[in-house]
Amino acid sequence: MLAKDLLRNDTDRVRELLATRGDDGSLLDRWLALDQERREILGEVEDQKRRRNEASKEIGRLKREGGDAESIMIEVGELKKKISTHETRLSELETELDSATLNLPNLPHESVPRGADENANRVERQVGEPTSFDFEPKAHWDLGPELGILDFERGARVAGARFTASFGAGARLERALISFMLDLHTTEHGYREVLPPFMVNAAAMTGTGQLPKFEEDAFKVSPHGYYLIPTAEVPVTNLHAGEILDEADLPIRYAAWTPCFRAEAGSYGKDVRGLIRQHQFNKVELVHLTSQDTSYEALEELTGNAERVLQVLELPYRTVTLSTGDMGFSAAKTYDLEVWLPGQNAYREISSCSNCEAFQARRANLRYRPTDGGKPCFLHTLNGSGLAIGRTVVAILENFQQADGSVEVPEVLRSFMGTDRITAEN
């Protein structure tokens, strides 16, 4: 949600920035018209309420003193009708205004490259070199089943397409990665671990921006009205919704493991093989709640924390700044981490780290009181994957595969795995 002041007073700039995201500005125009009408009617109705309140006090006084309140009561009766008419219109306007407001995306930060799609993304750095092999590397969708650790058919049998069952060392690798990442972030990067609900209500989904616009991307739990979380960002960012925090307690930094559930509507035919695009996957998520003037330093820090995971696992990757046209709805700036996948001979997204500035905070009513004692102001929220577990499994299988079809276990995972090699036997 964008600030009203900004929409009203800096309309041209907002329009221009929305255009960089591919927005045609019609929603903005609608918002402006609704806002204008709302303010006119609000002025009138509040004036009438003031008169009503005065008259009610007068009635009370007259009755106490045994006087005649009849004529004033008639006046109030008339006022009530007018107020009621206006309020009906006001509530219509406010419903429409809310809808317009909730459907406007965030504005990009000035450092974000402008462009229509991923072709305008900017590569910031590349760490490590694409893994080289003296044999033809396999894709994980061949390696996994051959090792007996990934079973796409049986996953589909019990659920459907885009669900997978992991067995033996594959299941243990997921668990090892979760523990390894949480340990790294909590003991070395200063995060507080949190285990949030895996289902949330509509208010939480609205707070972080998944609703109302992207309802079809979510799994809704009928008939309860809950949603399966698409990312831990949703429950964790909303944890402090409605609170007014002390600036002294900021930044708040959470690390959370959760499964994530995505309907993947509109992605039919994409990434149909393997673990890349699933309806359910594990992820360790990092969330920062910061003051308004520290969020961009925090974004660098958060991104660095996620990169560290790849570095320690010795996986080659690059860091990319998403262009205005490629960013998500709530983000003002996003870095994607793309890991090298030999089986696909390409860099693929494994983490997405965003600063949402006050966009989500306005929706979820996340505020803090400045240390100088001023009025409460909105937090800045940031989130990033640290990392997506399923895709990390893919990256490890493909980058650490050996000529004999086994997979070496990265050094730092060996204590978690209890072995240094994944073979068909385990």
Partner RNA sequence: GGAGGGGUGGCAGAGUGGUCGAAUGCACCGGUCUUGAAAACCGGCGAGCCUUCACGGGUUCCGCGGGUUCGAAUCCCGCCCCCUCCGCCA
In the bound complex, what is the minimum distance in angstroms from residue 416's beta carbon to RNA? 25
Q: Which one, of 397, 419, 383, lies nearest residue 344 by Cα?
A: 397
**Residue 235 C-beta: closest distance to RNA, Å:** 14
- The pair of structure tokens assigned to 246 is 């002390």
Give the amino acid at 94.
E
Q: Which residues are annotated as catalytic?
A: 262, 277, 349, 352, 391
Looking at beta carbons only, is 235 or 386 nearer to RNA? 235
| Contact of 253 with 286, CB cutoff 8 Å | yes
C-alpha torsion sign, points 34, 36, 37, 40: positive
Could you tell me the smallest distance in angstroms from the CB atom of residue 230 to RNA?
Answer: 21
Which residues of the chain form contacts with RNA (CB under 7 A)?
Answer: 4, 39, 42-43, 46-47, 49-50, 52-57, 59-60, 63, 73, 76-77, 80, 91, 244, 373, 375-376
Could you tell me if 286 and 185 are in contact, meaning their C-beta atoms sit under 8 angstroms apart? yes
Least distance between RNA and beta carbon 224 (Å): 9
d(CA 359, CA 328) in angstroms, rounded, equals 12
Q: Residue 60 CB, nearest distance to RNA (Å)?
A: 3
Q: How far is the CB of 292 from RNA (least distance, A)?
A: 14
- 75 closest CA partner among 62, 66, 87: 62
Q: Quick one: DSSP state of residue 401?
A: B
Cα pseudo-dihedral 256, 225, 265, 138, rounded to 10: 40
Considering the complex, state which of residue 49 and residue 213 has its C-beta at the smaller distance from RNA: 49
Contact 320, 124 (CB under 8 A): yes
Sheet holding 122-127, edge to edge: 122-127, 317-321, 333-341, 346-355, 380-388, 280-290, 252-261, 192-193
Query: How far is the C-alpha of 228 from the C-alpha of 216, rounded, in Å?
Result: 12
CB 323 within 8 A of CB 118: yes
Nearer to RNA, 365 or 426 (CB): 365
For the chain, what is the total number of helices (H) and then of strands (E)? 13, 18
SS3 content of the chain, % helix, strand, coil (to 5): 45, 20, 35
Tell me the closest approach of the beta carbon of residue 365 to RNA, in angstroms.
Answer: 8
Report d(CA 99, CA 114) in Å as an integer: 27
Tokens of 44: 């009138």
Contact, 31 vs 105, CB < 8 A? no
